[in-house]
Amino acid sequence: MSHHHGHESAKVSRRVFLQRSALGAAAIAITPAGALLNSSEAWALDVKGLKPETMKTLILVARDIFPHDKVPDRFYAVAMKSYDEAAAKDPAAKASTEAFVAALDGAAGAGGYAGKAWEAERVAILRTHEADPMFGAIRGGLVVSLYNNPDVWPIFGYEGESYSKGGYLERGFNDLDWL
Amino acid sequence: MVAKFDSNDDSVVVIIGSGAGGGTLGNELAQKGVKVVILEAGARTEYTDFINDEWSSFTQLAWTDMRTTSGSWRVHKDFGNLPAWIVKSVGGSTVHWAGASLRFQEHEFKTATTYGHLKGANLLDWPVTLAEMEPYYARAEDKMGVTRTNNLPGLPGNNNFKVLKAGADKLGYKECHTGRMAINSVERDDRNSCHQTGFCFQGCKWGAKWSTLYVEIPKGEKTGNLEVRPDSHVAQIEHDASGKVTGVVYFDKAGKMQRQKARIVAVAGNSIESPRLLLNSASAKFPDGLANSSGQVGRNYMRHMTGSVYAVFDKPVHMYRGTTMAGIVRDEAKHDPKRGFVGGYEMETLSLGLPFMAAFLNPGAWGREFTTALDGYSNMAGMWLVGEDMPQETNRISLSDAKDKWGLPVANVHFDDHPNDVAMRNHGYAQGKALYEAVGATRVFPTPPYPSTHNLGTNRMSEKPRDGVVNKNGQTHDIANLFISDGSQFTTGGAENPTLTIVSLAIRQAEFIANQMKANVI
């Protein structure tokens, strides 16, 4: 992913600005060039295989499946990148991913899945698609692609690799003091 | 000079598997001057190459060869091709085990006598007693450096243990401590002491935890009598016209078929592969598989009543800091049918890293109810329940329609809980919840059993040949020079983690085999 600060923001249209502010945590805009831009987190993502709107919706779906308010969007974006990469290589993968998102958009009605402002409304749509193999694949994949990211671990207080630091013998293995 | 035996040398003992049973048996026989070849399906990864990362380590060490499952157990639904989390590497599951080393209780060797008849439960007394096992338990504890034995101090209590102990005290439990662990609490046997690293399940990079990989096997190799061949996947055991086994066929690293002759074969591939191997070795003379006149090969599969209880508090715990299994409450391990079930269970602290917690806390779950649990990760404490599950004939390893890359049927693992298992698990969940709530837990999560790390009973010991597969020496009833040396020997599972009993049986079996060889009986 690349960081486009001043250069991209000059191109951000009014429509994009309104989309961004309406959705709170899912503050991803689509640039005129068709990339995804999250200005508040300062990252952009080139979308190669899927439609930009599809990729944006997928990132929102990922967050709705495993919502963590303290986890920035970029972790969900990284977790779902493989769907764009697969779509760029394989027309069948592209078709099934686009179809899944189209089904969610259809169930949502006007404004699509990403247009539903309340998480509860979006989750209700996901529940009706739980049996869809694509839902199961996304959910199962996220268990690893979201949570097995060492950069996300500090948000949860997990400290990761330990041997090179001498284990926890001198690093608080028994520092609990409230019992 | 490390031994290397010729494939036509029919004077060797061939052991299949290098874990708690196979690795220990190999060393014990080598020390007695017996020539041994251990064939291990996995690679030889030394402890310096273990990885402090849950998924990477899983890829490095776990047995992921194809298996199928059936039955009403949740593992079939959530992990259909991963019924067990065991190791495919030299050292077997002693590489990734937690180190808990508990002796069986006296009555657990005679459950048919003690518990009586339970509908659907294939209970049977072991053909050995605790009294007969005690000298071997003592030798195993010394060999493994078990804490709280042989004047070895217990390990210090980590944060997860502090929560357990405080809760146990509040509930009035009397037997709560940091366990009898085969992890050096002091430097011993030329190995480091524990550094509370928190990746016990990924292999101990300090060598502080006992494992056949870096304890039994190097000691055996030093005698010049032990050869370990990794990347050697045994496919079949062969026999002659009289029924005596003559050797094994295995596939080497290049996938080429090899044959190793043997005077004696000991099977120690853990409780799924061992019966599978006997069944796949069926012949005209033994159409139901080797050593299967009783029909019990593969049957009575046990995985212990397990489940976990995790709890979230409003202050930090950091349970992952330190030994993965850091403490135990033993009060519920007794047999007390007033609780509504026979047999008992141990409560042992357990921790998972964030990646595995996401995978195993509630497989299949999603949404805020699940994610708010993970949000509490650094304030979480946890325990694992290990209890005696009932042997059932219908819980079994059988040959699947699916085949491995060499065209041999893979194992299917069928399992249904017995009502006694369910009652015991529910009791354990309730007690775990009560323990954590007694010290301020705000949320408690009863967690379903993981892919089985304790796999037992599928070639069980019996007094009478019609009731089981092996006798009290692990010698198959049907074939005098064919032995079983792993946890598949277990007649019943007890409430205790199995490794100490497997090692003790292997020490005892080595004596028997060496004596029989010396007397030219086998």
Give per-residue pLDDT as tens, B232-244: 999 999 999 999 9
pLDDT at A12 over 80: no
Question: Phi first, then psi: what are they for B456, rounded to 5°?
Answer: -140, 160
Q: Is B432 within 8 Å of B362 (Cβ atoms)?
A: no
Query: What value does the CA radius of gyration of chain A take, rounded to a whole number of Å?
Result: 19
* Structure ipTM: 0.94
- Beta strand B36-39 with B305-312: parallel, antiparallel or unpaired? unpaired
Task: Give the confidence band of A33 by pLDDT, cuts at 50, 70, 90.
Answer: confident
Q: Is B251 within 8 Å of B23 (Cβ atoms)?
A: no
For B376, the closest chain A residue by CA position comes to A156
Q: pLDDT value at position A26?
A: 52
Please answer yes or no on whether B316 and A176 come within 8 Å at the CB atom.
yes
Chain A positions touching B204 (Cβ under 8 A) are none
B506 by Cβ neighbours in 10 Å (0-12 / 13-18 / 19+) ranks as buried
State how far the Cα of A3 lies from the Cα of A8, in Å rounded to an integer.
9
**A156 vs chain B: nearest CA distance in angstroms?**
6
Q: pLDDT value at position A42?
A: 85
Length of chain A: 179
Beta-carbon neighbour count of residue B257 at 10 Å? 11
Q: Is A64 within 8 Å of A101 (Cβ atoms)?
A: no
Look over chain B and give the mean of its residue pLDDT values, rounded to a whole number. Answer: 97
State how far the Cα of B69 lies from the Cα of B168, in Å rounded to an integer.
37
How does DSSP classify residue B78?
Answer: H
Q: pLDDT value at position A14?
A: 44
Q: pLDDT value at position B326?
A: 80
pLDDT at B149 over 60: yes
Please answer yes or no on whether A163 and B322 come within 8 Å at the CB atom.
no
Which residues have C-beta within 8 Å of that of residue B517, sequence separation ≥ 6? B34, B263, B264
State how far the Cα of B484 lies from the Cα of B476, in Å rounded to an integer.
7
Report in angstroms the alpha-carbon separations of B269 from B87, B218, B287, B297, B316. Answer: 10, 20, 22, 14, 41
Q: Is B479 within 8 Å of B290 (Cβ atoms)?
A: yes
Q: In this structure, what is the dihedral angle of CA atoms B79, B84, B90, B94, given to the nearest 10 degrees?
A: 130
Closest partner residue to B377 among A148, A157, A179, by Cβ?
Answer: A157
Using one digit for the tens of pLDDT, what is the confidence trace for A44-72? 889 999 999 999 999 999 999 999 999 99
State how far the Cα of B103 lies from the Cα of B261, in Å rounded to an integer.
36
State how far the Cα of B86 lies from the Cα of B456, in Å rounded to an integer.
12
pLDDT at A13 over 60: no
Closest partner residue to B162 among A66, A168, A176, by Cβ?
Answer: A176
What average pLDDT does the segment B399-415 reach?
A: 95
> Nearest-CA neighbor of B227 among B512, B482, B503, B29?
B29
For A136, the closest chain B residue by CA position comes to B364
pLDDT at A6 over 60: no
The pair of structure tokens assigned to A73 is 């969007």
What average pLDDT does the segment B425-442 reach?
A: 98
Q: In this structure, what is the dihedral angle of CA atoms B38, B39, B44, B47, given to the nearest 10 degrees?
A: -40
pLDDT at A3 over 70: no
Percent of chain B past pLDDT 70, that is, above it, reads 100
pLDDT at A18 over 50: no
Using one digit for the tens of pLDDT, what is the confidence trace for B456-487? 999 999 999 999 999 999 999 999 999 999 99
> Nearest-CA neighbor of B262 among B282, B289, B244?
B244
Percent of chain B past pLDDT 90, that is, above it, reads 99
Q: pLDDT value at position B416?
A: 97
Using one digit for the tens of pLDDT, what is the confidence trace for A76-97? 999 999 999 999 999 999 999 9
**Residue B309 belongs to what H/E stretch?**
strand B305-312
Range with the lowest mean pLDDT among A15-24, B7-16, B209-218? A15-24
The amino acid occupying position B83 is P
The pair of structure tokens assigned to B486 is 């792993």
- Interchain CB contacts (distance < 8 Å): A and B: 113
State how far the Cα of B310 lies from the Cα of B299, in Å rounded to an integer.
32
SS3 B479: coil
Residues 138-177 of B with CB under 8 A from A: 156-159, 161-163, 166
State how far the Cα of B168 lies from the Cα of B170, in Å rounded to an integer.
5
The pair of structure tokens assigned to B192 is 């480091």
> Nearest-CA neighbor of A157 among B441, B353, B367, B381?
B353
pLDDT at A8 over 80: no
**B209 vs chain A: nearest CA distance in angstroms?**
14
- Beta strand B233-239 with B245-251: parallel, antiparallel or unpaired? antiparallel
Q: pLDDT value at position B64?
A: 95
Q: pTM for this structure?
A: 0.94
The pair of structure tokens assigned to A15 is 């429509």
What average pLDDT does the segment B195-201 reach?
A: 98
Report in angstroms the alpha-carbon separations of B109 from B390, B433, B449, B492. Answer: 13, 30, 25, 7
pLDDT at B396 over 60: yes
Residues 301-340 of B with CB under 8 A from A: 315-318, 320-322
Using one digit for the tens of pLDDT, what is the confidence trace for A93-143? 999 999 999 999 999 999 999 999 999 999 999 999 999 999 999 999 999
Closest partner residue to B321 among A166, A168, A179, by Cβ?
Answer: A168
What average pLDDT does the segment B50-58 reach?
A: 98
B25 Cα distance to chain centroid: 15
State how far the Cα of B291 lies from the Cα of B471, in Å rounded to an integer.
11
Closest partner residue to A163 among B156, B205, B375, by Cβ?
Answer: B205
Helix/strand/coil (H, E, C) string of B127-163? CCCHHHHHHHHHHHHHHHCCCCCCCCCCCCCCHHHHH
Using one digit for the tens of pLDDT, what is the confidence trace for B71-115? 999 999 999 999 999 999 999 999 999 999 999 999 999 999 999
**B191 vs chain A: nearest CA distance in angstroms?**
16
